[in-house]
Structure formats: C-alpha cells, structure tokens
Amino acid sequence: MSIKKFNIQVSDEVLNDLKYRLDHIRWPELLENSSWERGTNINYLKSLVSYWKDEFDWRAQEKELNRFSHFRCNVDGIDIHFIHEKGKGPNPTPIILTHGWPDSFIRYQKIIPLLTDPASYGGDPNDSFDVIVPSLPGFGFSSASKHSGMNNYRVSELWAKLMTEKLGYSKFAAAGGDMGSGVTRYLALNHPEHLIGIHLTDIGIIRDLMISDDTKLSEDELSYKKIASEWMSNEAGYMSIQSTKPQTIAYGLSDSPVGLAAWIIEKFRGWSDCNGDLNKNFSKDELLTNIMIYWVTNTIGSSANAYYENTHSLPPMGHIDVPTGMALFPADVLLPPKEWAMRNLNITRWTTMPKGGHFTAMEDPKHFAEEVRTFFRTYR
C-alpha cells in the first residue's frame, strides 16, 4: 500500500449511536461525599457528559483536525495513520513524535506549528522540523495487529520503515513520552545509524530498580524505588488490568461511552499539572476530542492490549548511544533518577521544566517546543 491522503470523516451512524447511548445512561450508586479518591468523580463526569451531549461539536473538531495533512500507509501488514507536516525553514529536520496511552496523536496537535514554523512564533526558522506524528498500532486511525507481539520494540521497527522506506528520510530525530518513550528508545537502540538524537519526557517505570539490591543504589535511586512502589500500590490498578486481562475491560469500555470517559479522564486529572482541576489545563473540547478518537474508532480494547504485549513480550533494553535529551515535568507520574538515566542512555541534556505533567505537549506546548528545538539544534 502506497502512502495515501487520509481525511477524518466519522459516519452519521456512529455519531447517532453515540447520542443514543449518552441519552440512556445508567449511573451507578456511589457513597455520599466521595470525591476522586475512589476513582472518577461522578459530579465532574455528569458535567462533562452534559457538555458532551448538548454542546460538544464533533464535526467542528473533525474539521480542525483535518487542517493537518493526514496520511495512511501499510507497513508490514499494519495500516499506519500519521500526520506529516513539512517545515517552513531553510533545512527542516525530520522528527517523529510518538504518543502514549490514554492520549492519542492529538497529544502533539499544539506543537506541530511551533516546530514546523518557529519563525511565526518568535523562533528561528533554522530550527524548523518536518513533523511526523503517527497513531500507534491499535490506536485511533491505525489498524491493530491481528497477531500477538505488537509491543514497543515491534512498533519501533514499523517507525523505522515508515521514516526510511516510505518517507525517504535517511537521518531523522525522534521524541516521545509514555509508550512513545519506549518506542523512541528501541528505535535509537536498534537503528542508531538513522537517528541524530532522541528526546524523552519520561523513561517509564524502571523495573530493574524495583528489584535491585538496595546497597548498590544511590540516594536518588532509593527514593525513586520507594515512590515507585507506593505509586504502583495506589495508582497502577489500570496497569495491572490492562497488562493481564485487557480483553475483559475492553467489553465494558467499548460498549459505554461514559465508562470510556471515566477510565480516561481519571488519568488526565491524576497525571497532569492541574492540582485537581482539569479545567486549569484542558478545555472540555480537548478532553472529549481525545475520548472521541478512542470511541469512533473502537480502539480502547486494542490500545489496552498494548500493555499486555509490553508486559509479556518485550526484549531487554540495552545501553543507548544516540544523544538523548530529557525534559522532566514536575507533575509527571514518576521522575527518573538521573544516575540511572546516565548509566543507560547517552544523556547530553537534562532539563527540569517549570511546569507541566505527563501530557507534556498538551499542557505546556510553548516551553516544550522550545526545549525540543534547543536540544536538536546541536545535532542538525
């Protein structure tokens, strides 16, 4: 399959079905005065769903998304959806940006123009990029694998072929967060000849530190181990389910838009720099557009399955020699210890950002884009 232009166009049938479901919700009975400590708050969710039913305009959001140049092509049997926006500087550097869960390709929607056309936003045109933003397999408008084993390593192989064989870039940059961090690291590990550098906002849960001999760890690593253990006990229930029984949760979330919204919204509140107030960092339209991408494509099940694949079939990660920039956002889930990162990656830039959380490019796009431009300036 050659590269083909793609236009997001959800059928009226899908939207009418959604409207029916939102008009026939069965709300659960909950304890009085419960807030977010047991999960998504019902008052907030009812408010969001009311907006979804009466004010949210998918067609307007669809039109906004279609302002970007969307494409699809088949790579090793997977139909990959991606945005490809050309840079407006004298010699744009190609960069592939990889999202995670429970966000989607719209994680990077706000920074695409900041990277492709920095001069229009007070930057240097020499810092421009050709920006490629794919949807992970089984997410959004990319198809899911029909076979097991579609883990971060496999995705990185698809990305290497997309960038070199399909798009014709022999050298390029890569960046990502959440699952996108893992994909980006495997890309650098296995194809250093193509990578000028990688930029990360996290390095996932460092599992080898969780089982390491404490006498061999630094103070920062010991602190990380304690914080990570507490986080796993109190916040990682979703991960346990999706890593072990993703198919079971898929039935409910694929059938109920309110269930899907509750599952996703809790993570946006808990992982962002919003101090418990989602309205501080995200508009309702933003949140619902991301949820809609999962709903209209019916990909919450296949996206959850990515956790199972990454838990059961990932090969070990070796030392990465490609120059690596790390930008740490203060409200992100788990901030990695610098000692561990320095031992395992070729860290050439380590920056603590002034604000922001897990959904970096959505929360603080200006500072994030500046950081990406600054890091890659050395390697152009």
pLDDT single digits (tens) 151-190 = 999 999 999 999 999 999 999 999 999 999 999 999 999 9
* Alpha-carbon span 173 to 227, nearest angstrom: 32
What are the phi and psi torsion angles at 358 (to 5°)? -65, -35
User: Does residue 41 register a pLDDT over 80?
Assistant: yes
Q: State residue 302's pLDDT score.
A: 98
User: Does residue 17 register a pLDDT over 80?
Assistant: yes
- 158, with CB counted inside 10 A (0-12, 13-18, 19+), is buried
Q: State residue 371's pLDDT score.
A: 98
What value does the mean pLDDT take over residues 120-129? 96
* Alpha-carbon span 131 to 172, nearest angstrom: 10
Does pTM surpass 0.95? yes
Q: State residue 196's pLDDT score.
A: 98
pLDDT tens per residue across span 306-363: 999 999 999 999 999 999 999 999 999 999 999 999 999 999 999 999 999 999 899 9
What value does the mean pLDDT take over residues 242-271? 98
Q: Which CATH architecture has domain 41-377?
A: 3-Layer(aba) Sandwich (3.40)
Residues serving a catalytic function are 178, 307, 358
User: Does residue 198 register a pLDDT over 90?
Assistant: yes
Question: Which residues lie closer than 8 Å to 363 by C-beta, 6 or more apart?
Answer: 272, 273, 281, 282, 329, 355, 356, 357
* Alpha-carbon span 6 to 62, nearest angstrom: 12
Helix axes 300-312, 179-190, angle to 10 degrees: 50
In this structure, of 33-42, 73-82, 135-144, 212-221, the range with the lowest mean pLDDT score is 212-221
What value does the mean pLDDT take over residues 118-124? 96
* Alpha-carbon span 52 to 179, nearest angstrom: 28
Place of tokens 């999960």: 39
* Alpha-carbon span 154 to 277, nearest angstrom: 37
Q: State residue 1's pLDDT score.
A: 60
